Amino acid sequence: MPIVAIPSLLRNLTNGEESITVSGTTIREVIDNLETRYPGMKARLCEDDRLKPGLAIYINGLLTRGSIRERVDADAEIHFLPAIGGGIAAPSH
């Protein structure tokens, strides 16, 4: 079953657990199963049946498209992290 790393801001929902093993073959199923075990998790991760803006999904260390339809393997490691934006600012003269 996939392992979900729980960010520190969500650990209040998981009684402090840092990682959770949960069934699912898609990100949606994983989130739904997290919600079953830890009510409130889905509301913190999703908005209108999509991942909340500003969150990114990493599966096995690789950034995904951010779709909750993304398939996951049984041994996947999943991280929900704040999306990182920005870039290098132009030098000031």
Residue count (the chain)? 93
**pLDDT reported for residue 28:** 94
Which pLDDT score, from 0 to 100, does residue 87 have?
Answer: 52
What are 79's two structure tokens?
Answer: 């991280």
- The token pair that represents 3 in the structure block: 């392992």
Other C-beta atoms closer than 10 Å to the C-beta of 58 total 14
**How far is Cα 57 from Cα 88, in angstroms, rounded to an integer?**
23
Provide the 8-state DSSP code for 41: H
Average per-residue pLDDT in the chain?
A: 87
Instruction: Name beta bridge partners: 4.
Output: 20, 78
Please give the pLDDT value at position 23.
Answer: 95
Please give the pLDDT value at position 86: 54
Enumerate residue ranges in the chain where pLDDT < 50: none
Domains and CATH numbers, the chain: 3-82 (3.10.20.30)
Can you spell out the DSSP letters for 60-72? TTEE----TT-B-
